[in-house]
Amino acid sequence: MMTAYLFEFIGTALLILLGNGIVANANLKSTYGGTAGWVGITIGWGMAVFVGVFVAADVSGAHLNPAVTLALAAAGKFSWAFVPGYILTQFLGAMTGTTLVWLTYKKHYDATEDQGAILGTFANTPAIKSPFWNFLTEFIATFAFVLAIFYIAGGSFSGEQIKLGSLDALPVALLVLAIGISLGGPTGYAINPARDLGPRIMHALLPIKGKGESAWWYAWIPVVGPIAGGLLAAMVYMAIGV
User: Each residue of 85-95: pLDDT tens digit?
Assistant: 999 999 999 99
Give the whole-number percent of the chain exceeding pLDDT 70. Answer: 93
Provide the pLDDT confidence category of residue 152 given band limits of 50, 70 and 90.
confident
Provide the pLDDT confidence category of residue 163 given band limits of 50, 70 and 90.
low
C-alpha–C-alpha distance, residues 176 and 170, integer Å: 10
C-alpha–C-alpha distance, residues 41 and 184, integer Å: 11
Give the H or E element holding residue 161. strand 160-161
Residue 188 has pLDDT above 90, yes or no: yes
Q: Compute the half-sphere exposure of residue 182: CA atoms within 13 Å on the CB side of its CA.
A: 11
pLDDT at 232: 98
pLDDT at 159: 44
Question: pLDDT tens-digit profile of 1-29?
Answer: 799 999 999 999 999 999 999 999 999 99
Residue whose C-alpha is closest to residue 93's, from 197, 2, 14, 202:
14
Give the pLDDT mean for 194-200. 98
C-alpha–C-alpha distance, residues 8 and 202, integer Å: 19
The model's pTM is: 0.93
pLDDT at 184: 97
pLDDT higher for 87 or 57? 87
Give the whole-number percent of the chain exceeding pLDDT 90. Answer: 85
Give the pLDDT mean for 78-107. 97
Provide the pLDDT confidence category of residue 168 given band limits of 50, 70 and 90.
confident
Residue 154 has pLDDT above 60, yes or no: no
Q: What mean pLDDT value characterizes the chain? A: 93
Number of Cβ atoms within 10 Å of the Cβ of 242: 7
Residues 100 and 13: beta-carbon distance below 8 Å? yes
